[in-house]
């Protein structure tokens, strides 16, 4: 499965307080993606998944930052030439 975010993609959390576990959602025009752990799993499983997801997203952001900086540097070099 692939998911390609767009500028219109809305990333949000469905927070049910202490009644049900939260759900991460990505919505856009014509699509909806939810990310969660089955409610029947232990709270420890939910926490481990959320921590792994957060760590991976932090790494993704760092990689995007490096890539974007390189793209901007390449553009500046090309424009200066």
> With 80 as the cut, is the pLDDT of residue 77 above it?
no
> With 70 as the cut, is the pLDDT of residue 81 above it?
no
Across the range 50-62, mean pLDDT stands at 97
Which pLDDT band holds residue 78 (cuts at 50, 70, 90)?
confident
Q: Where are the domains of the chain?
A: 1-39, 41-80
Q: Please provide the average confidence, as pLDDT, over all residues in the chain.
A: 93
- The conformation of residue 18, written as its DSSP 8-state character, comes to T
Sheet bearing 23-28, strands edge to edge: 10-14, 23-28, 31-35
For residue 70, what pLDDT is reported?
95
Phi, psi of 39 (to 5 degrees): -60, -25
Q: Which pLDDT tens digit goes with each residue over 29-45?
A: 888 999 999 999 999 99
């Amino acid at each position: 499965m692939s998911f390609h975010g767009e500028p219109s993609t809305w990333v949000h959390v469905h927070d049910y307080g202490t009644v049900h576990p939260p759900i991460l959602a990505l919505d856009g025009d014509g699509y909806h993606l939810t990310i969660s752990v089955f409610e029947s799993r232990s709270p420890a499983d939910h926490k481990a998944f959320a921590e792994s997801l957060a760590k991976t997203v932090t790494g993704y952001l760092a990689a995007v930052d490096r890539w974007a900086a390189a793209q901007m540097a390449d553009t500046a070099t090309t424009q200066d030439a």
